Structure 1
Amino acid sequence: ERQRAGDHADEATAGASDDSYESEEEDPFLQRQSQLRTFQRGDFQVGGMIGQGSFATVHKAKQLATARDVALKVVRPESELDFGTGPNGSTPAVSYKDVLKAMKQEVLLMEMIGSHPNIVEILGTAEDCRVFVMERAASDLYTIVKQQERNLPFQLAKLWAAHMLHAVHFMHEHGVVHQDIKSSNVLIFSDRSAKICDFGLARRSKPTMSVDRELVTLWYRPPELLMGESTYTPKVDEWGVGCILLEMMIGLSPFKGKPDCICQCPHITHRNYNSDQLMKIFAVVGTPKDRALLARQACTVHFSKWPIFPAKLEGTVKRMCTAERLWRGKGDMPGEQEVDEKAAAWHFIIAGLLNLDCKERLTAEQALRSRLFAPSKRPTSSSVSRSPDGKAPPAVAAGGEGQ
């Protein structure tokens, strides 16, 4: 349910390693030693599993020396992993060595980024980067959105939107592209802060990068990859944030493509094509008409004869922007004019982040300068009181495990 269908074995090799190096031994970045604190397994009281991915599991734990609640990300033993076979029964392209390399890359990348209040903190490692020690969250955004359905207060949506954008801008400024921005990778803490986690698919960024494999979880995959561009930019992360903003509005992932709707074309740029995913995007943001944009796409043969979809995003945003969801818990309910203004501000930022043309897509920095985040004229409060129906908005959404 958390989009694992889009997380294939490629994730073990899709990380930070520079494309020009054949092996870990040749890449100076991977020769660096982590400066993080080194822990032993005995330093923690390990509890139950609270999450899992293709190659690692996440467990809640308590650091015995400090009684601090933490989360441990642990690479699976080689005996638990099935890498399948390569073409014609050959050796698979991904090995356990690649998995361990990806774990080390994740640690080094997060050290390279440095500390930021909206990026989850790695406290240390154990067993030669086979175990990460991380701060533990109260929940994750996927869980909260699912619990709240279409009732997530816009005050929280706006706060978390800003936190995500600050994190993306910071990591891009430090030369890292995440490549897996999705709601389940946004952790929510007890102080209501949102932090991006899971840099397992991240890499050192360049202004333009070559498409050489399947990239980004399907439901959050940007159109330039789906349509077959041969290169991509760090703005794949901004597309992911745009998807999450719309997800917070409508209460579910907006583009839930079926993973088996792929083509059999041999060219590498077709590896990211999915007809159902692309059609769901067009049905919301409209069919692209720019000839220069379409000329860059390798997969136009698959969708050039589709019906023309009109853009429906503005109407969707306007329907979701209600006075009840915009109300801050103090003072009068917002009037019709204020509701329309807020709807326009939300539409501007979501449409900008979900621009089909990555060259025109808003950067995180540009999005943070938009009208949505301008100082409010209405009185605000550091705490949120009860909504008009008498129910308190979620502190961080009860019941989520986080991580």
Structure 2
Amino acid sequence: MNAYEKLECIGAGTYGQVYMAKDKETGEVVAIKKIRSLNEVQGLPVTTIREIKVLKCLNHPNLVELKEVVVSSENDDDDAEFTDMEEPLDYCHGSIYLVLEYIEHDLTGLIDRQHQFNDTEIKCLMKQLLDVMEYMHSIDIIHRDIKCSNLLMTRDHLLKVADFGLARSLRGDQFFTNKVVTLWYRPPELLLGATSYDASIDMWSVGCVFAELYIGHPIFQGKTELEQITKIFDICGTPTTESWPDYKFLAHSSTFVPEKAKPKRLREYLIREATARKRILPKGALELIEALLVLDPEQRLRASDCLSAQYFNVRPYPPDDPKKLSPITNLPPSHEYQTKKIRREQAKQMNGGGANNHSNSNAGTGGGRGSRPISPPGASSGGRSRQSASKDVVDVCVKTEVKKEDSSSAAKKEATCGLSRLWKVQHISEQDGQTIVNLYQGYQVTVKGNGLSIRSALNIREKAQGSLRRKGKECATIINV
């Protein structure tokens, strides 16, 4: 990678880092995605293989361009110089880099900087997004992680879809994993356990993006899968056999769908949230968002249907060329990683120089941001206190074994769930040489033994004995945490 000079880290996640860099020979600014794992044990991550394959076979003006793939035989351990990492990542036998075109902004970064898109700009962005979705879906490729931070935008409002690590073809396999799509943008059928799905999962995410552009924050912000589906039902109503005939056949329908029906109030919610930002939601936009955020995937609008909707055929008309819109000249490059870093620094100042809270987004979380925008320099950010920082939601797999003296069917069912479920941590603390992990759903894990770090427990790097408690009553034994 001697041909490029790193300038700044603009993204980070489970895959590795993304850097803004400059070609030393031509001066061209590019984005370089450094892949985290490349060694003789793990090999090349499947997400990287998918991303390269998809970007090589697709050709559309609204897809980020892959310029080249570079494999370096030498280790590049300067990550700490450009990021908040305290130690360099573990690379073996070189690294692999995806050299992509550099785009100044992503939608999350712009929204976090309190940038408000006008109606014409939103219509232009949505038309571009639907155009590329129609193209991908027409050749049976789904993205599976549409969200604002994966939608890049130039200063001239040209939209580019990025991050194809979860993309795949619908041809061949009939069943897929449902652990895809970032939580806040994940459709209800995946949350209820569907493993057979189609392009409609992308369209739910498109509807979430559409709403976010108007209301200024993600429409559904759950911390766990249960909380996420609950928030969806609170706004979109609960399913019935009339509104969604097949929902009862999904694995988690009996667990996640409440017995008491909730009415649909999506339109009222959107109008209220838009009004709070002194915005008026056009009727056509409301109708299109409602048609996208339909619980039943069979009834959800497809991209081609959306493009022929009345919304795009009334004033203000979306320009054929985004460059006809006024360019964004009053904001620096804005990406989610950068705005999150600014928010952490503001929170650190508010807390008197407390430790940074490192949290990267991935497909299993809500993307690491809330509805609160970045405070301008010198303003109060209203950040969380250090006391509440430990309540950040992370994943932990709890494997349990039912105790002989408590073999009731309920206890067996609860303990069996732990074998295959990913639980959400609410709070972590240490007491009397034990690590106490409080989980949502009322469970508590106690890991015995001094010196067992929280990180090792959560990353399943060490075995430890402990117990699983529900509302204070021990019902199972932890055999591996």
Q: Same fold (TM over 0.5)?
A: yes
Question: In structure 2, what is the Cα distance between the partners aligned to 1:207 and 1:376?
Answer: 43
TM-score by length of 1: 0.70
Q: Which stretch shows the higher mean deviation, 355-364 or 122-131?
A: 122-131
Q: 2:230 aligns with which of 279, 303, 310?
A: 279
| Residue pair 1:172, 1:205 contacting (<8 A) in 2 also | no
Cα offset, 1:169, TM superposition: 1.0
| Residue pair 1:207, 1:233 contacting (<8 A) in 2 also | no
Does residue 136 of structure 1 match 2:136?
Answer: no
**Deviation digits for residues 166-199 of structure 1 (CA, Å, limit 9, x no counterpart):** 1111111233111000110000112211111000
Does residue 221 of structure 1 match 2:186?
Answer: yes
Cα offset, 1:345, TM superposition: 0.5
Does residue 106 of structure 1 match 2:51?
Answer: yes
> Which of the pair is proportionally richer in strand?
2
Taking structure 1 as reference, are residues 401 and 278 closer, same or farther at Cα in structure 2, changes over 3 Å only? closer
Higher-RCO chain (CA-CA 8 Å, sequence separation at least 6): 1
> Which of the pair is proportionally richer in helix?
1
Calculate the aligned-residue CA RMSD, in Å: 3.0
| Aligned position for 1:51 | 11
| Residue pair 1:220, 1:240 contacting (<8 A) in 2 also | yes
| Aligned position for 2:265 | 312
Taking structure 1 as reference, are residues 395 and 317 closer, same or farther at Cα in structure 2, changes over 3 Å only? farther
Aligned-partner residue type, residue 303 of structure 1: F
Taking structure 1 as reference, are residues 223 and 148 closer, same or farther at Cα in structure 2, changes over 3 Å only? same
Quote the sequence identity (%).
29
Q: Which stretch shows the higher mean deviation, 207-216 or 303-312?
A: 207-216
| Aligned position for 2:137 | 172
Cα offset, 1:252, TM superposition: 0.7
Taking structure 1 as reference, are residues 396 and 402 closer, same or farther at Cα in structure 2, changes over 3 Å only? farther
| Aligned position for 2:434 | none
| Unpaired segments ≥5 residues, structure 2 | 73-94, 338-481
Provide the secondary structure at the position in 2 that maps to 1:130: strand
| Aligned position for 2:415 | none
Which residues of 2 match residues 367-378 of structure 1 at below 5 A?
Answer: 367-376=306-315
Question: In structure 1, what is the Cα distance between the partners aligned to 2:317 and 2:203?
Answer: 29
Provide the secondary structure at the position in 1 that maps to 2:123: helix
**Deviation digits for residues 220-248 of structure 1 (CA, Å, limit 9, x no counterpart):** 11111112224111211111110111111
| Residue pair 1:166, 1:364 contacting (<8 A) in 2 also | yes
Q: 1:400 aligns with which of 334, 337, 343?
A: 334
| Aligned position for 1:365 | 304
Taking structure 1 as reference, are residues 377 and 155 closer, same or farther at Cα in structure 2, changes over 3 Å only? closer
| Aligned position for 1:121 | 65
Taking structure 1 as reference, are residues 112 and 78 closer, same or farther at Cα in structure 2, changes over 3 Å only? closer
Q: 2:247 aligns with which of 294, 305, 308?
A: 294
Q: 1:69 aligns with which of 14, 29, 52?
A: 29
Taking structure 1 as reference, are residues 109 and 370 closer, same or farther at Cα in structure 2, changes over 3 Å only? same
Q: 2:293 aligns with which of 314, 329, 354?
A: 354
Question: In structure 1, what is the Cα distance between the partners aligned to 2:137 and 2:204?
Answer: 14
Aligned-partner residue type, residue 123 of structure 1: K
**Deviation digits for residues 271-320 of structure 1 (CA, Å, limit 9, x no counterpart):** xxx21000111111111123523233221211343432222211233345
Provide the secondary structure at the position in 1 that maps to 2:113: helix
| Aligned position for 1:200 | 165
Question: In structure 1, what is the Cα distance between the partners aligned to 2:248 and 2:237?
Answer: 18
Cα offset, 1:209, TM superposition: 3.7
| Residue pair 2:178, 2:191 contacting (<8 A) in 1 also | no
Which residues of 2 match residues 251-262 of structure 1 at below 5 A?
Answer: 251-259=216-224
**Deviation digits for residues 314-334 of structure 1 (CA, Å, limit 9, x no counterpart):** 123334567x977xxxxxxxx
Q: Choose 1 or 2 for highest CA Rg.
A: 2
Aligned-partner residue type, residue 372 of structure 1: Y
| Aligned position for 1:8 | none
Cα offset, 1:59, TM superposition: 0.5
**Deviation digits for residues 104-130 of structure 1 (CA, Å, limit 9, x no counterpart):** 32111111112x111111111111892
Q: 1:247 aligns with which of 206, 212, 217?
A: 212
